[in-house]
Structure 1
Amino acid sequence: MSALDHVDLELLNALAEDHRATVVALAERLGLSRNTVQARMAKLERSGVFLSFERAMSPAALGYAIDAILHVQVRQADLPRITAELQEIPEVVQCHGMSGPVDLLVRVAARDTQHLFDIDARILAIDGVERTETSLAMGEVIGYRVRPLLAAARRGN
């Protein structure tokens, strides 16, 4: 990814403040032409700055009241296949490869504790999964955020 310049950082900050802003609104706010903003947005998208454009939704609103984190240990040689199989489990909402004693950090949404037990059993049944350890998320205390990083980048830190 290429380095972000001042205009890129200002555009990203404006998007972080109002993620629903239109290209026209962003252009007006930043004093740029609509074409410049569109070109910058396309460049940022191609360079991988933007993550998923999927709208974040509450699993609880869909009937999945339990948010759990599973620490999963696997046979390393089987990691790509295991990850592909995890992706087929609808209740797996996120998965990170980790360094250290835990290989995967898997976030799951469950309707109730029995459902969580069943999800864990399905994960353990995947060939190559050696062990899981489950923790319940009691609540999000700091949500995903990038605005502090943008502020630091704009200051030159």
Structure 2
Amino acid sequence: MGSLDRVDLDLLKALADDHRATVVALADRLGLSRNTVQARMARLERSGVFQSFERAMSPAALGLPIEAMVSVIVRQADIPRITAEIAEIPEVIQAHGLSGQIDLMVRVAARDTQHLFDVDARILSIEGVERTETSLVMGEVIGYRIRPILESVRREQ
């Protein structure tokens, strides 16, 4: 997508403030017509601005109170296959490809330490995975957020 204009940024900020806001509520808040907001939302969605409409849920509420970050080092040529195999492990919540010494950072959830050990063993058993290092998540200190970026971009315009 090209650059976002002030109306786009105001719309995104309103959504960051209230992610459950209806089109009518957004239109009222921004002083725009419902059709304008719907058209803008559709264009933003088509252009890939919105990453996911999946509702975030607590793994702990689902009986998986332990979260860990698993650093994975792999044979470079096998990354696409290894990533596909890691995606088949249900306890994997998220994974990122990285530059540097670590190839993949995999976020996992587990019932207890034995379950975490088993999940790590499943990752390590994938052909082409050379090494893993697991760190327990002690707590989230900064959750996912986009509002500060929106405010910064808005100020620059």
Bin for the TM-score computed over the shorter chain = over 0.9
Secondary structure of 1:57's match? Answer: coil
Name the residue aligned to 1:72: 72
Query: C-alpha distance in 1, partners of 2:53/2:38?
Result: 16
The amino acid that maps onto 1:28 is: D
Query: C-alpha distance in 2, partners of 1:10/1:120?
Result: 43
Name the residue aligned to 1:91: 91
Question: 1:82-121 alignment to 2 at 5 Å?
Answer: 82-121=82-121
Secondary structure of 2:38's match? Answer: helix
Secondary structure of 2:141's match? Answer: coil
Name the residue aligned to 1:28: 28
User: Alpha-carbon deviations, 1:94-144, whole Å to 9, x = none?
Assistant: 000000000000000000000000001100110000000000000001000
- Calculate the aligned-residue CA RMSD, in Å: 0.7
Query: C-alpha distance in 1, partners of 2:9/2:75?
Result: 41
Secondary structure of 1:141's match? Answer: coil
Secondary structure of 1:151's match? Answer: helix
Query: C-alpha distance in 1, partners of 2:17/2:123?
Result: 38
The amino acid that maps onto 1:120 is: D
Name the residue aligned to 1:135: 135
Query: C-alpha distance in 2, partners of 1:142/1:124?
Result: 29
Query: C-alpha distance in 2, partners of 1:154/1:79?
Result: 38
**Alignment gaps of 5+ in structure 1:** none
Name the residue aligned to 1:150: 150
Query: C-alpha distance in 1, partners of 2:21/2:65?
Result: 31
Query: C-alpha distance in 2, partners of 1:89/1:78?
Result: 17
Q: CA deviation at 1:70?
A: 0.3
Q: CA deviation at 1:2?
A: 1.1
Query: C-alpha distance in 1, partners of 2:76/2:88?
Result: 19
Q: How many residues align?
A: 157
Name the residue aligned to 1:19: 19
Q: CA deviation at 1:145?
A: 0.3
Q: CA deviation at 1:24?
A: 0.4
The amino acid that maps onto 1:151 is: E
Q: Percent identity?
A: 77
Name the residue aligned to 2:57: 57
Name the residue aligned to 1:38: 38
Query: C-alpha distance in 1, partners of 2:25/2:58?
Result: 28
Q: CA deviation at 1:73?
A: 0.1
Q: Which runs of 4+ in 1 moved over 6 A?
A: none
Query: C-alpha distance in 1, partners of 2:74/2:44?
Result: 35
The TM-score, its normalising length taken from structure 1, stands at 0.99
